Each structure stands twice: as C-alpha cells, then as structure tokens.
C-alpha cells in the first residue's frame, strides 16, 4: 500500500474529529443514540405541541416550559397543531412502559412515548442535550441549541429508587422536594422515605399525638455520631421536627408530578426507640427512655417492640391505617432489620406468645410479627416490603424483600419466588466512604464509585423476573445538612441510575466518566454539591515480615498521574511521580501526602495519611 503513514494520519484525524463531534452525553445512557449533523435552535418562536388532552401530561409540559423559561427567558407557546419549529409531543399506544423516542432535526423535535411518564423522561433527556446553562436559576444570554440525533430509550428495571433517612437528621419538606427534583433528572422513579427510627419519629399520626409531641424531638448534639453524650436530667429536647399530614400530601403531589412514587417506611419491630419514648408500655421493659440523640445504646436500652403485648398491634394498626390512607403506593416498608432479640428472650409476654403460637425460637417470633404485619397491611390494600432480615424464621407468604446485607438475602427470596429489590450495602449504601478516609467526612465502610457502577442487580442463577430493580440508600447518622446529602449522593447515584435504567450491554466505565464530568458542569450551574473522590489516589498499605510499611497507589480514573512527598510539604506535579513500585516510608517519616494530576492540572484532592493510620488499617483488616 502506498503512503501508509498518510493513511494512518488521516484515520487518526477522522477519529479525533468524530470524537470531537460527539455531542450527546446523557446519564443514564440511552438504549440507542444515533447522532446526525446539524442542530435545533431554541428561541421565542418555538412551540410545544400535542393533541393529547391528558391532564398530567399538560402539567409535565408546563413544568418543562417553566424550566426552559427560567434560564432562557423564552416562553414556549403551547398549541395543539404539530408543525415545524416545534417540540412535538406524541402519545402513542404500543410504546414500551416509561420508554420514549426522541428525534431532533434542524426543523423540529419529535418526542414519542407510550405514556406521560415516557414523555417526562424524554424531556429530561432533552434538557441534558441543551447547554449546561439550562440549569441556571437566572436568565442567561446565549444561543440555545440541541444537537440533532435520534434516541430510543426505555428502562431495564421498573424499580429505580433512592432512600433518604430523615430520622437520624430531620430535613424540611422543601429539602425533600429538592432531593426529588435532583433524582428525577436521572430517571429515578421511587423515593423511599425512612420516616421513623430510634432517633426521631417524623410523620404525624393524628390518633397517636405523642408520637410527634415526644418522639420527634431529642436533645441537640454535634460531633461524631455514636459518641454523643446521653440526654441529661432536665435537658430540653429541641432538635428535630416532623411532617404534618398536609406536608405529606404536598410532597406526594410534588413527587407524582415528577413521576416518582413514594415508599413510606415505618421501621419495626426494632429501631423503635422514638415510638417507645412516646409510649413506654410498647417495649418489653416498659421503661421510660428518651429519643436517642446519637449516643451508643445497643443492648443497653430496649428499642424493640414487645411482640407478646397486644397493645403493640393495636398501636401499629392505628399507625398503618393512617399511613395507608395517605400514601397511594401499594407497598409499605416495615423495616424488620437489626432486631436485638435479647429482651424478647427474657420477656414473659413474648415467651407466652411463643408458647401459644408454637414458636421454637425468637427468630420465629420475629417471623410471626412480620407475617402478622403482612396480614394487617393486606387488610388495608397494601403489600409488605422489608429488609432481608424478614427471611429469618420464615418469610411471610407474599412479602417482598429489600436485600441490604449483600445479594444473599435477595437470592434466597427470589428462589422462593418472592420479588426482590436489590440494595446491597457494599454497592448501594451512599453513606459509606467513597474515597480514602483521610480526605473524607467521617463515616464507616467503603463504597467507591466503581463499586456502584460495576455491580449488577441480577445475580447469576436468579430469574430476572423476580428482581424488581434496586436503589441507593442514604442513611444520615453522619449527614447533618443538605449540602452533605448532595455530596454523599452524587456521583454514586449517577452510576446507580445507569445500573437500573440502561442496558447492561451499554455499561462502559470510561465513557461514563466522560459523560459524568460533563454532567458536573450542569451540577455546578445548578449549585449541586458532588464528590470528586474518584479522582483521588487510592492508598493500599502493606507490611513485610520485618515490620516495614510500604504503600501501593492507584486510581479509579484512568490517565491520572500521582505525585507524592514524605516530608510534610504539599506535593504538586514538580514532586516525585509515582511509577507503580511500592513506596517505603523513609526513616523518620510519619506522613505520606499524595495528589493526582491530569494533563498537568490537579484532578483530585490532596490526601495525607500517617504511618500510624496505615498500621491501624493493616491491623483492622
């Protein structure tokens, strides 16, 4: 072949040109994207058209128009006449549930979907195709263009959720609404609302006013959760809050307008100290406890309901009667996790119940409780879902299992032909460390961005029909303000959105990182705080037989250079670069400082870790 070098150069130029021309960067990744040349220009002459008279669709189109108006100043006209220079909305029977097709040409945009929900998801994609300034809270003067493309899209799973714990720290209804807005951008459709725990009861139950009068409030504490001082005699309980039933209705309507279903959780029989503080007769000990402020109490205070006490079921019937009337979702989450059974073992009422019901042990006693809860919920037209501990002692006949301690509980439930929602903690717990603890707010455990992105909710050997989907869970023991909520949620919830929405075959880590970095620009515009921990160096300590400590370094993100120092100064790209060989602490050195760079510019944060801390990690492992 003549001039092979020229041919190679030409091919490289074509590749770079094609990469530069890639203009569609959507999260979660659609099923199919076909880019075309050209762009659709959005201006004051653009109309939104539809022949549908669906009321919810009308609200969705108004939401979209308002969103566009905020950043652009354009008021998109709404009309029933499809035509050029328009965003045409077509509802068409036979399309996949929640799916859509988006066709953008220089003359018009056509969004076809089988339901208003599909239209909403298609509009979320359309917003991601607009420049990042579309997320601005004030008008931006610029040319507004949408790249031409044809996108076909639909979700892999029907259950795509995020859970927010509002018991450990209370968040206002406005903050909850903002969280719903943020998750809606990435096509989540379930908001799991953890409304009760040991540290606060957060929902008004009109027939049981003490639940919020007493159970919603605790003494104020700041610092490291689990180490707080216990309530002192006479100390006022001023920290907390709750949602009135009118607040709940308002948030439900807000979520429904964004095609998000709310799953309420009342955590029983354990994690019930706030309920017991309000009604002490509900525990085995019947002692008066305070709502726990975040101090260590496990096994010292009785936070589990007495299953032998008939009053417990009378109270729960009142609670779930009002919960069932408020929330339209056919599921109610009853918790069922982490029950310390020691008080049941010693309780005469529980022992009597076990004898009457021919129960062999306290595991079967908990199973009895869950099965009774299932019948109670069923009488109110609801289905029971609980954490995977509800498997212990025998699973209730129609229960759905939310598997958190790993995949094992979900596998066991699916093999018993029960539905499963996967949320294994190592991949889906958004309250865990997402980078080296030396550079992170204090918490526990580790769930890196790669962990969230690379896991699959359908274990090998399990029929996919039993896996409803999955969710990320944000427990808030160590999360005391809304900015921290955002930091812990994003970007791991971006990764999970792709796990639950996109085809498994489309999973591509490098491409996801490119799209995510572009999404960060939108988040910056929207003033959403996110973590860049995945750009930090990973520290892996080792120790030889002589006790000498060495360190291997790596990164989650490809193409990063790592620079380091042992002399307590702050490294930059003029310091030694890590070459892949283990680093040994020089004599007298006590700290290792590292930072990552990409293309000559800082990529991650500086991480400084002491030799003492590395030895502790080795010992703990």
Q: Which residues are catalytic?
A: 338
Element (H, E) at 239: strand 239-240
In this predicted structure, what is the pLDDT of residue 97?
86
| pLDDT tens digits, one per residue of 293-337 | 999 988 889 999 999 999 999 999 999 999 999 999 999 999 999
Residue-level pLDDT at 256: 98
The mean of the pLDDT values for the chain is: 94
pLDDT at position 245 is 98
- For residue 291, CA distances in Å to 170, 237, 285, 538 come to 13, 9, 16, 39
Q: What percent of the chain has pLDDT over 70?
A: 97
**Does residue 64 contact residue 129 with C-beta atoms inside 8 Å?**
no
Kindly state the average pLDDT of the residues 405-416: 97
**pLDDT attached to residue 4:** 42
Q: Determine the average pLDDT of the residues in 457-471.
A: 96
- The pLDDT of residue 5: 42
Q: Strand pairing of 32-42 and 144-153?
A: antiparallel
* pTM of the predicted model as reported, rounded to 2 decimal places: 0.95
Residue 9, pLDDT > 50, answer no
Cis preceding-peptide flag for 238 (omega within 30 of 0): no
- Residue positions counted in the chain: 621
Taking phi over 0 as left and psi of -120 to 50 as alpha, with beta for the rest, 336 belongs to left
Give me the pLDDT at residue 11, please.
Answer: 35
pLDDT in tens, 551-596: 999 999 999 999 999 999 999 999 999 999 999 999 999 999 999 9
The answer to whether 165 touches 475, Cβ cutoff 8 Å, is: yes
Mean pLDDT (whole number) for 136-148: 97
Q: Is the pLDDT of residue 621 over 90?
A: no
Q: Which two tokens stand for residue 422?
A: 């996967």
* Residues 243-287: tens digit of each pLDDT: 999 999 999 999 999 999 999 999 999 999 999 999 999 999 999
Residue 379: the pLDDT is 98
| C-beta of residue 271 within 8 angstroms of C-beta of residue 197 | yes
Domains contained in the chain, CATH given: 4-153 (3.30.379.10), 159-525 (3.20.20.80), 536-620 (2.60.40)
**Peptide bond before residue 93 is cis, with ω within 30 degrees of 0:** no
| pLDDT value at 14 more than 80 | no
**Distance between terminal CA atoms of the chain?**
59
518 exposure class (CB count in 10 Å sphere: 0-12, 13-18, 19+): middle
In degrees, rounded to 5, the angle at the alpha carbon of residue 502 between the alpha carbons of residues 58 and 191 is 55
The dihedral region occupied by 507, where left means phi > 0, alpha psi between -120 and 50, and beta the remainder, is beta
């Amino acid at each position: 072949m003549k001039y092979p070098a020229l041919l190679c150069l030409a091919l490289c130029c074509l590749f770079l040109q094609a990469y530069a021309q890639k203009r569609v960067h959507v999260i979660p990744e659609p099923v199919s994207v076909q880019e075309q040349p050209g762009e659709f220009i959005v201006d004051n002459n653009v109309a939104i058209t539809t022949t549908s008279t669906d009321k919810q669709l009308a609200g969705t189109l108004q939401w979209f128009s308002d969103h566009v108006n905020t950043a652009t100043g354009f008021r998109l006209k709404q009309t029933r006449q499809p035509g050029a220079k328009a965003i045409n909305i077509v509802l068409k029977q036979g399309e996949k549930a929640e799916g859509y097709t988006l066709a953008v040409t220089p003359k018009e945009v056509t969004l076809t979907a089988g339901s208003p929900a599909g239209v909403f998801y298609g509009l979320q994609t359309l917003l991601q195709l607009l420049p990042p300034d579309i997320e601005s809270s004030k008008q931006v003067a610029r040319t507004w263009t949408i790249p031409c493309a044809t996108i076909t899209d639909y979700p892999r799973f029907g259950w795509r959720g995020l859970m927010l714990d509002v018991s450990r720290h209370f968040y206002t209804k406005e903050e909850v609404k903002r969280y719903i807005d943020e998750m809606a951008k990435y096509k989540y459709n379930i908001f799991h609302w953890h409304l009760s725990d040991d540290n606060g009861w957060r929902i008004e139950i009109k027939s049981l006013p003490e639940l919020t009068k007493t159970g919603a409030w605790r003494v104020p504490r700041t610092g490291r959760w689990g180490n707080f001082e216990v309530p002192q005699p006479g100390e006022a309980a001023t920290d907390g809050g709750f949602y009135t039933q009118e607040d709940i209705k308002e948030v439900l309507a807000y979520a429904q307008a964004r095609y998000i279903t709310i799953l309420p959780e009342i955590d029983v029989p354990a994690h019930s100290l706030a309920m017991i503080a309000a009604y002490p007769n509900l525990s085995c000990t019947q002692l008066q406890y305070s709502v726990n402020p975040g101090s260590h109490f496990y096994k010292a205070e009785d936070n589990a309901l007495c299953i032998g006490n008939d009053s417990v079921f009378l109270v729960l019937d009142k609670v779930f009667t009002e919960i069932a009337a408020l929330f339209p979702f056919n599921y109610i989450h009853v918790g069922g996790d982490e029950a310390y059974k020691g008080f049941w073992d010693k309780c005469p009422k529980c022992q009597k119940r076990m004898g009457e019901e021919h129960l062999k042990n306290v595991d079967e006693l908990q199973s009895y409780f869950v099965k009774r809860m299932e019948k109670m919920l069923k009488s109110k037209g609801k289905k029971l879902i609980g954490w995977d501990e509800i498997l212990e002692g025998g699973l209730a006949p129609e229960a759905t299992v939310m598997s958190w301690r790993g995949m094992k509980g979900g596998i066991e439930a699916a093999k018993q032909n029960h539905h499963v929602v996967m949320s294994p903690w190592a991949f889906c717990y958004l309250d865990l460390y997402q980078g080296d603890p030396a550079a992170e707010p204090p918490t526990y455990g580790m769930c890196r961005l790669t962990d969230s992105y690379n896991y699959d909710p359908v274990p090998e050997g399990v029929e996919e029909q039993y896996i409803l989907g999955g969710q990320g869970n944000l427990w808030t023991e160590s999360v005391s303000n809304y900015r921290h909520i955002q930091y812990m949620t994003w970007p791991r919830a971006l990764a999970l959105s792709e796990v639950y929405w996109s085809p498994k075959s489309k999973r591509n880590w490098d491409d996801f990182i490119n799209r995510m970095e572009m999404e960060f620009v939108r988040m910056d515009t929207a003033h959403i705080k996110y973590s860049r921990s995945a750009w930090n160096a990973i520290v892996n300590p080792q120790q030889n037989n002589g006790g000498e400590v060495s360190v291997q370094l790596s990164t989650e993100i490809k193409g990063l250079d790592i620079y380091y120092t042992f002399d307590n100064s702050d490294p930059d790209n003029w310091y030694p670069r890590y070459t892949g060989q283990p680093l040994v602490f020089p004599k007298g050195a006590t700290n290792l400082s590292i930072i990552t760079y990409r293309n000559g510019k800082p990529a991650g944060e500086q991480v400084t870790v002491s030799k003492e801390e590395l030895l502790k990690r080795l010992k703990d492992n």
